[in-house]
Every structure is written in structure tokens, then in C-alpha cells.
A and B are shown apart, each in its own frame.
Chain A
Amino acid sequence: MADHAQAALACLDRALREKPDVDGKVFSEAAKALSQLRNDLADRQRRDGASADSRRQLEHVNAVISVVLGAHFPLGNIPWAEVEKARGWLAELSSADGTGQLQ
């Protein structure tokens, strides 16, 4: 799980650095990693039972996916400011990794 989070984070960092104009393949890669992270979190929640934390993590990952999709297939300009925020949410989640939540 932590691997997927790190991979997605790296993609978002790259996207924010390079700001690709259309169809950044980087968003596709980010979406792949985030989807796997989401699936792992959902599976773990089903296996171990849901907690407030597990639900919050799952929702945050889904929220990051929503923003990444909106950047990958923008209506109008690419919402870079939103991508920046989403990166922050993901980073926050990954730092929670230190406490074992994403292990």
C-alpha cells in the first residue's frame, strides 16, 4: 500500500513540476497507483472491519482520485491549484504511513 501511495505521490510531484498541457500520461499513472491503493484499503477494511480512521483514509484516497481525474480530463483549464491540494492530502495520508496505517 505504501508503495502505491509513494508512486502516486511521485506522479503528482512530476505533474506539478512539468505541468503537461494535455493528457499528461502522468495522470494516468497516478490514477493507476491510486486505484490500487484504494482497492487495498477497501479490501483491508472488509477484512479487518471498518474504523473511523480506515474510512477517512479510504475517502481521502477517493478524493485524490477525483481530483486527478479532473486534471486528466479537465473541463476547461487543468485545475493545477486543486492538484496541488490533492497532493497535500495524499502526502498527509502517506505520512500517516509512519504510524502503520498504510502498512
Chain B
Amino acid sequence: MKKLRRTLTERIAGFAKDWSLPRQLAGQSPYAEAAQSTLSKNLRPRLEEADTVGTSICPFCAVGCAQLVYAKNGRPLHIEGDPRSPVNQGTLCPKGASTLGVLLSPQRINKVLYRAPHATEWDERPLDWAMERIAQLTKQTRDDTFVERLPDGRTVNHTLGIGSLGGATLDNEENYLIKKLFGGGLGMLTIENQARI
């Protein structure tokens, strides 16, 4: 019969052999292999499983810490500070370190929700439907509220009937097109973001 369990002596001997403390007490460097157990030796970083890595910038405050985003099969695997960055040198604060948790939040919503006037519940709607409805509403409200000229002839080409709020959490390219379309295209003036507050 094959022996399934080690004897107590064998277990103690095995543990003593693998235990890193005696080696370190004996003077071997605690920063080198002396500190390594079999368990820790066999541990592998999950980053090794990643098939993609890219640079990102932390989405929270304006310090601009660089991050490395690791992915496997299109799913986020790990996010950590980019050690190359002169801003954060690989570090992240508690918020930045939670970025993976943000992406994977159980409360994330991936569908368009619609609340009709006076309705008591949200409904799911197709994205395409919502985009068309929003475009139609934008046009209608703009047309109802637009002033091309003041009655004395001065050109203003504006509407005060539509507002836009937000931008400080978005990219420069996004802000540029928001201002270009809403301001330069539709004549909206009330375009604002968190920089004001």
C-alpha cells in the first residue's frame, strides 16, 4: 500500500528544510533566495497570463499618473502604475489602484436606459434608437429656441435652450468635438464643465 501521509517527523523535517527563517538567521540575505519558500517559488504573477498591455493615464485626479493596463482575451486582468513615468514612478494612490475595480464594478451599466416623461421605471432601449431620438430632440429644441438675429439686426446665431455639462473627466479630443459641434455647429452657449466648480 502506498503511503499517503508523511510521518510527523518527515513533515517537520520538510518544513524545517523549506522554512526560510533559519537561513536568514544564519546570515543569508533576507532580500535574496534565502527568503524564498517552495510555495512562493511556485507562485507566478498573473501578468504572465496577459496577452495585451497598454499605457493608460489614471482616470481620477489631475496628477496624471501613468498606468499599465493588462488584458487577456479582451478582459481586463490587472492595472498598475507605470514604473517609467516621472510623475508616479510606478506608484498609485488608493483611487488609482482601484481602477481595475472600476472597470469590473458589479454596478456598471452596459445598456441604454430610457425614462419616458412621467414614467415610474427605467426601460432598456437600443443604442441606435436613443441616438436618433436624442438627435431629433436636439434639433427640435434648437429650432424652437434659436435666435439668428436680434430684432434690431445684430447677428447672434445662438440658442440658450440647450445646455451641456461635463468634460473634465473626458479626453481633449472629446472636449474639442463637444465644443465644436455644440458651440460651432449648433450655436449652443451654455457649455460648461467641472473646471468652473
Residues of A whose CB lies within 8 Å of any CB of B are 38-39, 42, 58-60, 62-63, 65-67, 69, 85, 89, 92
Q: Tell me what chain A mostly uses at the interface: helix, strand, loop, or mixed.
A: helix
- How many inter-chain residue pairs (CB < 8 Å) link A and B? 35
Residues of B whose CB lies within 8 Å of any CB of A are 144-152, 156, 158-161
A62 touches B146 (CB 8 A): yes
Can you give 7 A-B contacts (C-beta < 8 A)? A38-B145, A42-B144, A62-B147, A65-B160, A66-B147, A67-B150, A92-B151
Chain B residues within 8 Å of A62, by CB: 145-147, 159-161
A63 touches B144 (CB 8 A): no
Chain A residues within 8 Å of B150, by CB: 63, 66-67, 85, 89
Chain A residues within 8 Å of B159, by CB: 62
B151 touches A69 (CB 8 A): no
Looking at the complex, which one of B147, B152, B160, B161 makes contact with A59 (CB distance below 8 Å)? B147
A59 touches B144 (CB 8 A): no
B151 touches A66 (CB 8 A): no
- The distance in angstroms between the C-alpha atoms of A70 and B38, with both chains bound, is 74
A60-B151, A89-B151 given; A66·B156 CB < 8 A:
yes
